[in-house]
Structure 1
Amino acid sequence: MSSPKPLIGIIDWAKSPLGEPECTAERAVIGDAAEVRRFLCSSDDDFTDEICGADALIVWHNTPIRAAGLARLRQCRALIRNGVGFDSVDIAAAREHGIAVCNVPDYGTEEVADHAIALALALCRQLFPLDREAKQLGWTIRVEPRLRRLRELTFGVVGLGRIGTAAALRAKALGFKVVFYDPYLPNGVDKAVGIVRVRQLDELLRQADVVSLHCPLTEETRHLIAEREIALLKPGAFVVNTARGAVIKKTAILDALRTGRIAGAGLDVVEDEPLQTAEEAATPNLIVTCHAAFCSVESKLEMRATSARIALAAVRGEPLENIVNGVG
């Protein structure tokens, strides 16, 4: 009797599923090499016995995978985060159990960079307030003091990885003066990209008219932007976040908008997302876009195909791509 096929489980967020029940993109890559099944979970508390027996798991964002859940996995070789960020997974606990955690770091580079620039342009040109005015049958440009000429502005990039570089080059092409802060890059990157490097975050915050965040969420970057950092910004500055919500302390940024300390914010991600109250949603000069910067028809298919390829390698015992926790 032939042994059963290995199981690749796809863990989708029960509150707002992003995959589809047929798993067509994944099946197209995996073929007959493994069974592919989708499970809707709010967290690892929802892991069934079948999930715990999977040989590999593909996990969409917003489903937390913690130490207790990882301990229940009986034969999982790899857990693949269907996206760039992996802060929803306890990677240290996974390492203790010999489970490789992988991500898909490059699938949405263009989309997230485009989204960051779109948010910056919407803020600098005040598109949403002008749209509301026109649709109320008015024609008064009340937001004129916030309307800016791009080539007079400094665009500050925090984190010059794939997405940060793509956003910086787009901003440069639009006429912004572009500066960046990234303590982990070697000397000379600024010369290769043709932008200005600053050595301290505070220096960037003091001179930037637009601050665009492109760093992962780690213990080092959690609340990287909080009350002290916001106090360094120009009163007319705009803040854009397409990285992870908790890189910015939510209460600090919302308070700064309510008091007029800064001119506006475009947040694709927020701490403890989504927004929790009507009061948060009513914050003035705030654009929020549902953690959608990564999303396009093309990017989702690329992401899912890459995750499926890594899961297939896992069940075949082949080398894995994009390991983030050091488990080979």
Structure 2
Amino acid sequence: MDYPTTLMPRITIIDWRTSPQGDPDSTIERHIIGDAAEVRRFLCETDADLTEEICASDALIVWHNMPLTAQGISRLKQCRAIIRNGVGFDSVDVAAAREHGIAVCNVPDYGTEEVADHAIALTMALCRQILPLDAEAKKLGWLIKVEPRLRRLSTLTFGIVGLGRIGTATALRAKGLGFRVIFHDPYLANGADKALGISRVRTLDELLRQSDVLSVHCPLNAETHHLIAERELALLKPSSFVVNTARGAIIKKTAILTALREGCLAGAGLDVIENEPLRTEDEAATPNLIATCHAAFCSVESKIEMRSTSARIARAAVTGEPLENVVNGVS
């Protein structure tokens, strides 16, 4: 498609070619941005796909799974802000952006309810073995082979890694269902446990030893990459379930799939998985695995909120207004 030459600022939306999440007309973004800038949308797989038109943009809105590396950022000619259309910003080299004076922003609050709900949904599906029971019922039979995995929630300990917005929302939901709720978060000030009526443990190892359900809610960074690997999974009870609605690479993929195959875990519910999506039929056939499509954030309402916030930040970037949710210290 040919675009007219314009002196207006340019805001470019970069959607992921493998699984586009926005609409071709960028209806929500255009409504918010109005006549403050020209809005364009491109489908890319990696930043090797960035065209000269994209690199001449004044602001970028980037969907998840479209990585923006130091090499790609170095090609941006006049970009003022990169807005990650979501909570996580691990797909953007924030240090490289800072070196080039480009603000990186995210949308930290749009999907709090949805992700917490999804974590609980995966937990309930595991604790009540919904999928295996569904499959058995559809065989027109009633042999309940998974009875040893069916659990009473009030007897279980729900362990949370990371008590931020989503971790807190998940904790409240789990508590309401009758779980004993514990958490580990070395960066959280004292007192959150008392405010929420849950228990704090000081080490990850202790959290793992106590948890019947482990739910991951921390960001992905150098410290948390493979935070849960072979050693950590071995600390869980063989009857434990693992839920991840945060970032795939927090849990080492080969470690958790092996643990499931060898019966070292009772099950896992993974909305996100390292090097997603699942790559082989063997991975997909892993026993006692529920996998969803990095969709925990999704709802009609959450996507409207997310896209509206991203568009508002992009508009502020090209009109010289203060930016929200800057994560790399560039004002």
How far did residue 317 of structure 1 move? Answer: 1.0
Q: Distance in 1 between matches of 2:209 and 2:278?
A: 28
> How big is each residue's C-alpha offset from its partner over 1:171-193, in whole Å with a ceiling of 9 and x where there is no partner?
00000000000000111110011
> How big is each residue's C-alpha offset from its partner over 1:64-116, in whole Å with a ceiling of 9 and x where there is no partner?
10111101101000000000011111111000100000000000000000000
Q: Distance in 2 between matches of 1:204 and 1:37?
A: 47
Spell out the pairing of 1:31-42 with structure 2 (5 A cutoff).
Answer: 31-42=34-45
Q: Which residues of structure 2 form unaligned runs of 5+?
A: none
Aligned to 2:94: 91
Aligned to 2:252: 249
Spell out the pairing of 1:283-294 with structure 2 (5 A cutoff).
Answer: 283-294=286-297
Q: TM-score, normalised by structure 2?
A: 0.98
Residue 221 of structure 2 aligns to a residue in which SS? coil
Name the amino acid aligned to 1:95.
R
Spell out the pairing of 1:135-214 with structure 2 (5 A cutoff).
Answer: 135-214=138-217
- From 24, 27, 31, give the equivalent of 1:28: 31
Q: Does 1:64 align with 2:80?
A: no
Q: Distance in 2 between matches of 1:251 and 1:15?
A: 23
Aligned to 1:6: 9
Name the amino acid aligned to 1:297.
V
Q: Does 1:235 align with 2:238?
A: yes
TM superposition outliers: structure 1 runs of 4+ over 3 Å:
none
How far did residue 28 of structure 1 move? Answer: 1.2
> How big is each residue's C-alpha offset from its partner over 1:274-318, in whole Å with a ceiling of 9 and x where there is no partner?
000000000000000010000000000000000000000000111
- From 305, 312, 315, give the equivalent of 1:312: 315
Name the amino acid aligned to 2:143.
T
Name the amino acid aligned to 2:294.
H
Name the amino acid aligned to 1:184.
Y
**Aligned pairs, how many?**
327
> How big is each residue's C-alpha offset from its partner over 1:198-248, in whole Å with a ceiling of 9 and x where there is no partner?
000000100110000000000000000000000100110000000000000
Residue 303 of structure 1 aligns to a residue in which SS? helix
Residue 42 of structure 2 aligns to a residue in which SS? strand
How far did residue 138 of structure 1 move? Answer: 1.2
Q: Distance in 2 between matches of 1:215 and 1:186?
A: 15
Q: Which residues of structure 1 form unaligned runs of 5+?
A: none
